[in-house]
Structure 1
Amino acid sequence: MSGVRQVVVEADGGSRGNPGPAGYGAVVIDPATGEPLAEAAEYIGVATNNVAEYRGLIAGLTAAKALFPDAGDALRVHVRMDSKLVVEQMSGRWKIKHPDMKPLAARAAAVLPPSSVTYEWIPRAQNKHADRLANEAMDAGRDGRQWEASASTAALDAPARTVTAPPPAQGPPGDQAAGAARARAALASARGAAAPADDALFPVPEPGPPGARVPTAPERAGVPGTGWGSAPDLGAPATLVLLRHGETALTPEKRFSGSGGTDPELSATGRGQAERAAGHFAALGAVQEIVSSPLRRCRETAAAVADRLGLDVRIDEGLRETDFGAWEGLTFGEVRERYADDLTAWLASPDTAPTGGGESFAEVAERVAAARDRIVARYAGRTVLLVTHVTPIKTLVRLALGAPPEALFRMELSAASISAVAYYGDGNASVRVLNDTSHLR
């Protein structure tokens, strides 16, 4: 084929603890000269080695695509990695079983057409450039700074490369198209839905920190559209991952527990739920920021996740629970016995506040929407974990769906459950997950 552009991508990822502080590195190489064309590296917080390896692959493929944005199907990428797992899964020879790998594999498969990518396993000794980049990124994260291409010495330590044609496929029959299809099917199986084209439960952020030596280019593929005819050039969405706090002593008794009550701490069960959520997000490796309600149960849940990811927690007052006024600490039945008329009016209208000067759902929706707008503007294109409560989460989902206020009473939201909403540059939103508790089982 005339006009074919060929590049080699070498990628690696590492985790000091597995899970532990993790980072990835990737380099795009000119196969004609052996010279590096672009590098990318990033510290990704606490994650497993396999998550870091996949993140390195995604970064390398994205960098190759950015180098030749107009090449289209004429771009050919040969990937070389020392991760047998990633190479075999992306080549279609191994099944993708681990739930944390499925979204990452699907994302990697969506960067370029499957027919444009081939994979080769290489020994670690032949992957020194990418390995050094990954270690530089982890060192930078340890020191509280970002990796900078200008300070990298990875290229100096890389061995001289002998340019050769990509080798034939290794092992049993398998191909990159099958690998891409398997990645999407594995993700769909985890969701219980049809195989997606290119998105994941929580989209992996665009690889490469500020300073990464990767040329920028408009994203021409890989961004889910918000309508049948929408152009895929809106950029990466701001994805808000919504984590309800763990249980308190009031939760199993189903008592009203808002922002006007006793501000209870997590129970032993709730602390266990927070730790399991923290382990889930550490393995996923996608969360970049954490924002929490100011209430104690949320701050404790957020702290558990932040400790595992090595992130700070920002507090936003707009994420606090509804003030339930005189109903705080009571069960629904007790409120019905004591304040029957007020409860009936509250259930009938979002503008009615609970007895004793609490907040109406309309008032809560206004402040939650304002918090959403602040967070989406501040963290455009990033994946942000919001640790909050039942009403704010249901409100965010309701607003994203354009559903009426009474939809709040038609959603179940368990303690420490995960939901997610993606917000695009054109103002549209997409609900990705609702009330997922699989990480607690």
Structure 2
Amino acid sequence: MTGRRFIVEADGGSRGNPGPAGYGAVVRDGDTGQIIAEAAEYIGHATNNVAEYKGLIAGLRAAAELDPDARVDVRMDSKLVVEQMSGRWKIKHPDMRPLAAEAATVLPRAQVDYSWIPRERNKDADRLANEAMDAGKAGRQWEPKARPSATAPVTGPTVPADEPLPAPAAPRAGWAAPADLGTPTTFVLLRHGETPLTPEKRFSGSGGSDPALSEKGRWQAERAAEALAARGTVQAVVSSPMLRTRQTAETVAARLGMDVRIEDGLRELDFGAWEGLTFAEAQEQYPDDLTAWLGSAKAKPTGSTESFTTLTHRVGTARDKILARYSGKTVLVVSHVSPIKTLVRLALGAPPDALYRMELSAASLCAVQYYADGNASLRLLNDTSHLR
């Protein structure tokens, strides 16, 4: 533990319950009480409880980005959220379970305490939630008026002011949802094609040699491009900054007549000293570290600065940025094994060890849909039919 302590105040609201909804959250320095981070978002049509949980998740993520090892005191005026997250009340409503599960993955339970406060002591988070709802009513997303600290960046699912959000538009076909569920945002998740390291199952993360696609990998990217062009549903392409993902994304985007937007949060885990090794080689050279890594989401590969917990924080932030920018659209997200599995795991509300129970082939496709009420639905997993 670092000894740092943060206070997270979070709130959410819905004008109609359900109705137009938004959340707000602030992170305060535990010693001074100064606000050091803010987050807010308009989330569309949702209930108060969904908005409150969304605010909690955003506040925890903001705290985790500042220091993933800090102690966090969560203070909310929602008795329901506080009691459920404290484990004293059962979570009976099916809409709340995946949100509570997601909140529980942001930071280890031992680092977080929950307490109820009256509404008048939660004015800053309430203010941000109302700002977010006002922004949504005006047809835009919330943007920070100013950074709360000169040294701590404002966090939250926002985009720079000079890059306006596109207007929401329904997917045309393919992975579309039933009309009574509303218009979801769909992530079509494409793992990059093979590199020379892929067939040998060598660790290949963001801290290694950054290999290019092999000849087979380029062929796989072409087949994926053909399949996605035939479906005709993709409206934007977002990629990890790694060479193999950019090459895959550019192949598809060229076929679709689109540009590629780079999102750094989609990069692969840094595998440290294991980069380029097979699993057997890593086990032989670093047996204790590998065992610890397989047993805990907080453990890091030898020499790496990242754990699966850290990766979950940045992938979740990247997801929220994409959702904010492309609301109601179908987005091709080109990434790697760990980020894609993490997005699937979070959509299902599954525990961290679920990452070890999924197969994800090179150039395979998955699809996840996100709804305005906070729910997510896994529509496709490890589809390789376009490669046959």
The structure whose RCO (Cα within 8 Å, separation 6+) is larger is 2
Alignment RMSD: 1.3
Query: Is 1:300 the counterpart of 2:247 in the alignment?
Result: yes
CA 1:316–1:430 in structure 2 vs 1: closer, same or farther (change >3 Å)?
A: same
Work out which of the residue numbers 347, 353, 371 in structure 2 matches 1:400. 347
- Which residue of the partner structure matches residue 287 of structure 2? 340
1:277 counterpart = 2:250:
no
Residue 367 of structure 2 aligns to a residue in which SS? Answer: strand
1:37-436 correspondence to structure 2 within 5 Å: 202-203=175-176, 222-223=178-179, 232=180, 235-436=182-383
Mapped to 2, the partners of 1:357 and 1:300 lie a distance apart of: 25
Work out the CA distance in 2 between the residues paired with 1:250 and 1:263: 10
Q: Is the 8 A contact 1:201 1:432 kept in 2?
A: no
Distance 1:305 1:325 in 2: 30
Distance 1:243 1:201 in 2: 16
Instruction: Tell me the distance in 2 between the aligned counterparts of 1:341 and 1:200.
Output: 49
| Cα distance between partner residues in 2 of 1:200 and 1:359 | 38
CA contact (8 A) 1:246 1:416 kept: yes
Deviation string, structure 1 residues 55-89 (Cα, Å, up to 9, x no partner): xxxxxxxxxxxxxxxxxxxxxxxxxxxxxxxxxxx
The TM-score with structure 2 as length reference comes to: 0.55
State the Cα deviation string for residues 304-352 of structure 1 (Å, max 9, x = none).
1011000000000000000001100000000000000000000000000
Q: Write the distance in 2 (CA, Å) between the matches of 1:362 and 1:278.
A: 32
- Alignment-mate amino acid for residue 175 of structure 2: F
- CA distance in structure 2 between the aligned counterparts of 1:369 and 1:427, rounded to whole angstroms: 14
| Structure having the higher Rg | 1
Stretches of structure 2 that go unaligned for 5 or more consecutive residues are 1-171
Residue-by-residue CA offset, 1:171-217 (whole Å, 9 max, x unaligned): xxxxxxxxxxxxxxxxxxxxxxxxxxxx975228xxxxxxxxxxxxx
- Distance in 2 between residues matched to 1:306 and 1:386, nearest whole Å: 11
1:440 alignment counterpart: 387
Runs of 4+ in 1 over 2 A off after TM superposition: none
Written as runs of structure 1 = structure 2, the 5 A alignment for 1:3-14 is none
- Which whole-Å CA distance do the structure 2 matches of 1:414 and 1:405 have between them? 20
Q: Tell me the distance in 2 between the aligned counterparts of 1:277 and 1:325.
A: 30
Contact 1:259 1:324 in 2 (8 A): yes
Instruction: Give the superposition deviation at 1:357.
Output: 2.4
Q: Is the 8 A contact 2:174 2:233 kept in 1?
A: no
Task: Give yes or no for contact 2:190–2:334 (8 Å, CA) kept in 1.
Answer: yes
Percent of aligned positions that are identical:
68
- Give SS of 2:359's match: coil
2:173–2:232: 8 Å Cα contact kept in structure 1?
no
Q: Which amino acid aligns with 2:307?
A: S
Q: Which residue matches 1:101? A: none
Deviation at 1:280, TM superposition (A): 0.5
Q: Is the 8 A contact 1:257 1:329 kept in 2?
A: yes
Q: Tell me the distance in 2 between the aligned counterparts of 1:365 and 1:357.
A: 15
For residue 270 of structure 2, give the secondary structure of its aligned residue in structure 1: coil
CA deviation digits over 1:337-385, x for unaligned, max 9? 0000000000000000100124100000010000000101110100000
Alignment of 1:9-20 (within 5 A): none
Distance in 2 between residues matched to 1:419 and 1:304, nearest whole Å: 18
Q: Which amino acid aligns with 2:329?
A: R
Aligned-residue offset at 1:258: 0.2
Report the residue type matching 1:325 in the other structure: G
Query: Distance in 2 between the 1:200 and 1:435 partners?
Result: 20
Residue 235 of structure 1 and its aligned partner are, at CA, apart by: 2.9
Aligned counterparts of 1:337 and 1:236: Cα–Cα separation in 2: 50
CA shift, 1:408, in A, is: 0.2
Structure 1: segments with no counterpart, 5+ residues: 1-198, 205-221, 224-231
- SS of the equivalent of 1:252 reads coil
* Residue aligning to 1:122: none
SS for the counterpart of 2:189 is strand
Give SS of 2:197's match: coil
In the alignment, is the contact (CA less than 8 A) between 2:173 and 2:233 conserved in 1?
Answer: no
Q: Give the letter aligned to residue 295 of structure 2.
A: A
**Distance in 2 between residues matched to 1:268 and 1:342, nearest whole Å:** 34
